[in-house]
Structure 1
Amino acid sequence: MNPLLCGLAANPALPPELVDRLIALAAAAPRPSDLSDPTGFLADVLVWHLSERADLGPAQVAALAALDEDTPARLARGGHLGAADVDPDVWPLAALALLDEGRGLPEWARRFAVDPDPSLRWQLASCPGLPADVEDALAADPDHEVAAELALWTTSSAVAARLARHPHAEVRQAVACNEAAPPAALAALLSGDGLPPAHSCLVCDGREIPFLHDPHCPDADCVLPAGAACDGTHGSTVHGTWGRALANPATPPEAVAAFADHPSVLLRWAVAEHPGLPAEVYTRLAGDPDSRIRASVARNPGSGPEVSRVLAADHDVEVRRAVAHHPRVPFDVLERLTPTTRLGQEPLPRISAATPEELAQGAASANARVRMLVAHRHDLPPELRDRLAADPDASVAKAVAPHPGLSPERLRAMVALHGQQVLARVAANPEAPGDLLAEVARHDPPARRALREIASHPHATAEALLPCLAGGRSRVSAAAHPALPAAVVVGLLDDPDPDVVEAAAGNPSLPPAVMAQHIT
């Protein structure tokens, strides 16, 4: 198989009879004997593209489902197969896919809960809405990996509390991630109070203890993480359980706060991420010697303005940038940060939550960087949006340029005033008209970033798209654009770049006669 056929398989304009031909080609192709078999791999990619089509008929679905054991599951997730079409004994993966999407039958869940294949029980354990008796069976599963998967996904607080007492430490670690676990169980996983000792962990399951895993382990099949260790107390797994419980927002704040001075940087980092701690804990962590912890405190919604003011003067730029991403950082602190900190091109949480009065105040600031922060918000009142579009500072105009609602005249005025500096952002405006995009595409020197925006813009015309084919990353998107002339698309089928070939083959403007020539 080749990129051209894969592109054709995804082409929404491919006629049904040509879909049939591609399915026949996929059926005749050799299946991969191993992961290094490129012929089989490309055949699998072709089948994947075909099964993702929205226009498959019943006979085509049946033909694809017969190709291998994985495709029925993909067809089920895509809505091509329902419960009435699937026999769980024939297509177990498809049945599990339907259960995972809430479209399976309860009796299937009971059937898989006792299946001798642990991989099927493991997949079942992550499905939502399982009957209570099925969850009980999975919680008692002899394979701890099945119980651990249930521990991650169950929404039953009673089941999570039961699994927090599981004899295998890996299952307890999974419970620590689950926000449905009762707060008392999460606190117990941190303190150990009231929990019986775990009997085993991933380390002592297969190693004589005491054991410390070599971080440079030469065994290619080894699944233990670096630093895994057990001396009978399941040390590394317990440490991992603490980290996950500390990061769980359902864990009681008082239990989390007890780890604020722990010698482990990773555990203090997890504490700093928790949103419900007492103010004095955030204040203490704001002075931590590790900048990652200070940055976590700086962006944590639970820390207050006093912490923001302190950390806005931090010597580490990532900490200062984190302050700017706090959802309630004071506006004056943001203003202090703008001269020394790059704050990105997305609206900051504080700007997104700003009141109309705050937005108007920011837009009127003498500081162009503050006006730029406001301009990044793309749901501004029209009068404020238009005022910022006419701003004499290019950084402000650049920020507001993709704002929906800007008229073509205002976009042209921005280009006339600021030129190359705003071209890419103007081209990203969803309402930019085709003739303006063509003007931007012809700009000399070429604006490469603008061409990338134009190549996928829904209003791009053929005149705008042709310059996008000259080179660079815009070529693939332009080759797939339906406004590209059919003759040009046909010519791209011989392009040396396989990504361009696949994109052109998937272009719906490709003539059906040409499609047919390449499916033999």
Structure 2
Amino acid sequence: MNHLLCGLAANEALPPHLVDRLIAVADTEVAEALAVRPDLRHEQAVALVARDGETAQRLAYEGRLTAADIDPGTHPDAALALLDRREGRPEWARLLATHPRVAYRASLAACAGLPSDVVETLATDPDVRVVAELALWTTADTAAALARHPHAEVRRAVAANEATPPAVLAALITGEGLPPARWCLVCARERPPFVHPASCPRRDCDLRPGDSCDGSHDSTVHLMRQMALRNPATPTRAVVGFADHPSSRLRRDLAARPDLPPEVSERLAADAAPAVRADLARNPAIGGPLIRAMAGDPDQDVRRALAHHPHVPLDVLGRLAGTTRLGPALLPRIATASPYEVEELTSSPDPEVRMLLARRRDLPAGIRDRLAADPDAKVANSVAPHPGLSEATLRATVGRHGVQVVAAVATNPDVTPALLEELTGHRPPVRKALRAVAQHARATAPALLACLADRQARPLAAGHPALPPPVVVELLTDADPATAEAAAANPSLPPAVMADLVPRP
């Protein structure tokens, strides 16, 4: 790989004439980088495909190529991309429906809006993988017809298709009204009973780990039920019986459904499997009384899921914060707290609760500043990236909590260039802060030069446009390929140097 040319290919300041020159000499890696340039013109995209055909599919998906640019015989993957965008030609679909390569026929089967004769051809394809792909994405009528397919793998795909009629989904679960499936992927190849080992030594084997068939296509039927349980079009009455199913995986899928009747939710809340209770706990359909009842669950994953529930009562959330590791994400209930609730949370005696609020980035100025002055470091650290904090407030936060907040302060979008420079010189040094400064839009040359001393921050700083051009040029020969590539992608790289780096065809 030529790291410098890859960097140049991504350089937003690369002049159009140098883009043309780079296309003319591009290898696979450089072509991939050029293909994602937002300023790539249509004629450049066509030239890039002529240079490296592997880019055709990406460029077609991104709308850089038209049907007039594509020969489906030469670039079938690009033709499939345009068909998927509904910009291809019907004759392409007819050609690809009988293509000798199974992967192309399967990709075609996933496209919407296919001509009816093409759908009929794919529905009778000799390879079940093609028919299953069609079943997964096709219209209601075709899905209903394929539900009677003799291969269980096709029925599994029908169960996952949200266009499948509800009555058909119910029939797939119960088997009522449908002829029994005759094959699955397992018994089509092995004599039942057979269980596919997780570490299969055969290189050409594409069975899933644990696939099995005892004559009833058991693993595929299990997957089909999973798909139907996850499908929102499956009628509620057809799935509630799975609350007592021996498979915890099926009970988990049931617990996640937003249409659970209250009595089923209560049964699942007492399930022996913690994973089932956790899936129920994050289900937006459960209400306050059940949330309160589950808040004392002994399993931490269940309590964590409850804390992320959008309707968890704030008093319950406060209790959960003291007993459960909740992670760094802003919790949905905190994000929607009313102004009155925000004031209440700010005054909580529990720093864990104040920290949860401090993760919001739309706090009123007064509350934001109060949290920045919080005596607890984890609260101040959480609010430090909040927009609008003054330089004086950020400096006071660093002075109060030191290394515990330096990295968070460095990510604040309004931190001043002067403070960024000071943070790079903090003693003891905070490496995470150096990485934040190296990517900060307001970083100055002195701050970036300090970041170059850190191994992880160095390639980030090398690509920053505020780095002095002579330093950028010097980094082109850096021993670290990532740093050299970042320097080549730096828009501050002088145009003359760019021109010298691009070979002439």
Bin for the TM-score computed over the shorter chain: over 0.9
2:362 matches 1:371: no
**Residues 385 and 151 of structure 1: is their aligned pair in 2 closer, same or farther, counting only changes over 3 Å?**
farther
Counterpart of 1:119 in structure 2 is 103
2:77 matches 1:93: yes
Contact 2:80 2:107 in 1 (8 A): yes
1:107-256 alignment to 2 at 5 Å?
107-131=91-115, 134-154=118-138, 156-256=139-239
Counterpart of 1:47 in structure 2 is 31
Deviation at 1:293, TM superposition (A): 1.5
Contact 1:324 1:337 in 2 (8 A): yes
Q: 1:466 aligns with which of 449, 473, 481?
A: 449
**Residues 439 and 283 of structure 1: is their aligned pair in 2 closer, same or farther, counting only changes over 3 Å?**
same
1:353-379 residue CA offsets vs partner (Å, 9 max, x unmatched): 222222222122222221211121212
Q: Which amino acid in structure 1 is aligned with residue 482 of structure 2? A: D
The residue matched to 1:259 in structure 2 has which SS? helix
1:74-473 alignment to 2 at 5 Å?
74-131=58-115, 134-154=118-138, 156-473=139-456
Counterpart of 2:491 in structure 1 is 508
The residue matched to 2:206 in structure 1 has which SS? coil
Contact 1:254 1:277 in 2 (8 A): no
Moved more, 110-119 or 220-229: 110-119
CA distance in 2, matches of 1:358, 1:455: 37
The residue matched to 1:224 in structure 2 has which SS? coil
Counterpart of 1:16 in structure 2 is 16
CA distance in 2, matches of 1:405, 1:151: 52
Compute the TM-score of the two structures, normalised by the length of structure 1. 0.90
1:62-120 residue CA offsets vs partner (Å, 9 max, x unmatched): 33212344222222233321223223344322222122233334454444345454332
Counterpart of 1:36 in structure 2 is none
Deviation at 1:333, TM superposition (A): 0.8
Deviation at 1:133, TM superposition (A): 5.1
Compute the TM-score of the two structures, normalised by the length of structure 2. 0.93
Sequence identity (%)? 58
CA distance in 2, matches of 1:182, 1:350: 35
Deviation at 1:137, TM superposition (A): 4.2
Q: 1:493 aligns with which of 460, 476, 482?
A: 476
Moved more, 84-93 or 216-225: 84-93
Q: Which amino acid in structure 1 is aligned with residue 274 of structure 2? A: S
CA distance in 2, matches of 1:437, 1:396: 21
CA distance in 1, matches of 2:41, 2:299: 59
CA distance in 1, matches of 2:41, 2:230: 47
Q: Which amino acid in structure 2 is aligned with residue 473 of structure 1? A: Q
Aligned residues: 503
CA distance in 1, matches of 2:153, 2:9: 43
Deviation at 1:132, TM superposition (A): 5.0
CA distance in 2, matches of 1:22, 1:206: 50
Q: Which amino acid in structure 1 is aligned with residue 19 of structure 2? A: V
CA distance in 1, matches of 2:115, 2:338: 46
Task: Kindly report structure 1 stretches of 4+ aligned residues shifted beyond 6 Å.
Answer: none
Moved more, 127-136 or 170-179: 127-136
CA distance in 2, matches of 1:313, 1:80: 55
Counterpart of 2:6 in structure 1 is 6
Moved more, 73-82 or 187-196: 73-82
CA distance in 2, matches of 1:152, 1:358: 45
Q: Which amino acid in structure 2 is aligned with residue 25 of structure 1? A: V
Counterpart of 1:64 in structure 2 is 48
CA distance in 2, matches of 1:287, 1:218: 41
Moved more, 228-237 or 210-219: 210-219
CA distance in 1, matches of 2:349, 2:121: 66
Q: Which structure 2 segments of 5+ residues have no match?
A: none
**Residues 14 and 200 of structure 1: is their aligned pair in 2 closer, same or farther, counting only changes over 3 Å?**
same
Contact 1:448 1:472 in 2 (8 A): no
Contact 1:113 1:124 in 2 (8 A): yes
**Residues 180 and 375 of structure 1: is their aligned pair in 2 closer, same or farther, counting only changes over 3 Å?**
farther
Q: Which structure 1 segments of 5+ residues have no match?
A: 27-42
The residue matched to 2:292 in structure 1 has which SS? helix
The residue matched to 1:209 in structure 2 has which SS? coil
The residue matched to 1:72 in structure 2 has which SS? helix
CA distance in 2, matches of 1:131, 1:487: 59
Moved more, 282-291 or 192-201: 282-291
Deviation at 1:136, TM superposition (A): 4.5
The residue matched to 2:6 in structure 1 has which SS? helix
